[in-house]
Structure 1
Amino acid sequence: MEQFLDATYLKTPEQANLSKLENVIFIENLLHNAVKNKYKCVMILPEYVAMAKSFFGLYKSNVLVGTVIDFPMGSASTQDKLAQAQEVIDLGADELDFVIDYQAFKKGNVSYVQNQVKLCTALCLHQQKTVKWIIETAALSNKEIIQITTLIKNTVIKNFKEVDFCRVFVKSSTGFFQTINNLSNGATPENITLIIENASPLPVKASGGIKTKQQALFYLQMGVKRIGTSSQIEIVK
């Protein structure tokens, strides 16, 4: 189980109602827990990448350092996304989870989104990094989930080598999208099914609202290759 988990903490001190020092201590505890349980990756905000990389180096741990780009809205320009990505790569990030510009996609700017996927993926793959594209399923209809997943797949197949496909994921959610009527803003059996059916041969990451071992196992049995969760301690227990 642990080798499929991206242990995630993406709150700012303000969002967590913590001081900056308390937030750092929280992240340090997350890193200790990641070393102990040998998670695949920790997903943290960009400003903590260098700290995590240094921490894992000190403990000679193989846990990967992941971070988010243009999070959580995804509406920054492609050039801004590229600049953010290179900055965290320089700090030592191993995996970069980009929020795709799903708003541009919904408006019909398909070629713009295709180019964004192509350029940002190229930046990561050329530096031996893993890239995950967050499509924000809660903001999309089922038809749009199918279309944007297919767009990512086709862009990757057209522009990159087959050996690299395993390092380009389609990911469900940020977990921060505000839904109405308390509807799910993360992974659901329905949306993960749609992504898996349309992403292959690209791997899929399920994230958002996964809080139990039973949920994690359910999605792994469906065929996802990573689980993004902030409930990793409960799941591993």
Structure 2
Amino acid sequence: MNIKQFLDSTYLKTPAQAGLSFEENKKIVEGFIAEAIEEHFKLIMIRPDMVSLAKKMIAKAESKVLIGTVIGFPEGIYTIEEKLAEATQAIEDGADELDYVCNYENFKNGDSQYVKEEILKCTQLGISHHKTVKWIIEVAALTDQQIIQLSTLIKNVVIANFKEEQYQDVFVKSSTGFYKTEAGKPNGATVPTIIMMLENSSPLPVKAAGGVRTYEEAIEMISLGVKRIGTSSAKAIAHGNISESNY
């Protein structure tokens, strides 16, 4: 097994979040892109404004690394129209994969119809452009029952509206990695939450994101059945080293 083909190497901090200038933060992004190319990771996951930069670097290196970006990130409260506009621009800039943050707050407030419409329209946009779509449900913001219900909702929308051969291109993803939890609770993928997602989103694939920082943790997630892992520790994981990352 080539673990690198499961890894979405991720850097999603804005300059403000990183406490850096735009140029300083851009240098970090360039470093992550160069590393992904050198290590032959599956994908580099970056903010939308960095997609065109990644496209140029990957083309110059004649690399097969895919480009992923986040839409409606990290709160998921953008309108459907705003998400569609952001995704359309990302596609034009060269993104291969779109990781949408589901409007989980609307879901928690009982507006499942809105979420169904969002899942349908945003997935249609991605699939119609031959892109992989992932839906971030933010497990740390949900109860176990809500994780089960939202995973099932996404699955049902996809099964009802897309062809069976397209299911593999629509993931349910655990976390943004940016959600603030209390008392040190995990804000990303854990074994229990991933099992719930796998059981209730199948036949859609699952991406574990947030909190996977070691080779052993990555292997455990893969053994459970996840198809992709989002991590800022991709190199450390691939080489069996200890990561100091908090994502």
TM-score, scaled to structure 2: 0.95
Partner in structure 2 of residue 162 of structure 1: 164
Name which of 10, 20, 23 aligns with 2:22: 20
**In the aligned structure 2, how far is the partner of 1:22 from the partner of 1:178?**
25
**Could you report, residue by residue, the CA deviation over 1:10-64 in whole angstroms, capped at 9, with x for unpaired residues?**
0011211222111111111111111111101010000000000111001110000
Q: Percent identity?
A: 50
Instruction: Note the C-alpha offset of 1:112.
Output: 0.8
Distance in structure 2 (CA, Å) of the matches to 1:232 and 1:16: 19
What do the CA deviations read for 1:59-114 (whole angstroms, capped 9, x no partner)? 11000000000000001111111111101001010000000000000011011100
Please give the root-mean-square deviation of Cα atoms over the aligned residues, in Å.
0.6
Which residue identity does 2:139 align to in structure 1?
A: T
Amino acid at match of 2:38: K
Using the alignment, how far apart are the partners of 2:205 and 2:191 within structure 1?
16
Cα distance, 1:119 vs. partner?
0.4
Letter in 2 for 1:209: G
CA distance in 2, matches of 1:106, 1:20: 35
Q: How many residues align?
A: 237
State the match for 2:77 in structure 1: 75
Structure 1 runs (4+) greater than 4 angstroms displaced: none
Task: Give, in whole Å, the separation in 1 of the partners of 2:233 and 2:67.
Answer: 18
Paired position in structure 1 for 2:51: 49
Mark the runs of 5 or more structure 2 residues left unpaired by the alignment: 240-247
Give the unaligned 5+ runs of structure 1.
Answer: none
Structure-to-structure mapping, 1:188-199, within 5 angstroms: 188-199=190-201
- Does the CA-based 8 Å contact 2:39-2:235 persist in structure 1? no
SS of residue matched to 1:71: coil
1:177-203, Cα deviation, whole Å (9 max, x unpaired): 011111000000110000000011000
- Secondary structure of the residue aligned to 2:86 is helix
Distance 1:29 1:74 in 2: 27
Distance 1:175 1:128 in 2: 26
Distance 1:3 1:85 in 2: 24
Once residues 24 and 186 of structure 2 are traced to their aligned partners in structure 1, the CA distance between those partners, rounded to angstroms, is 29
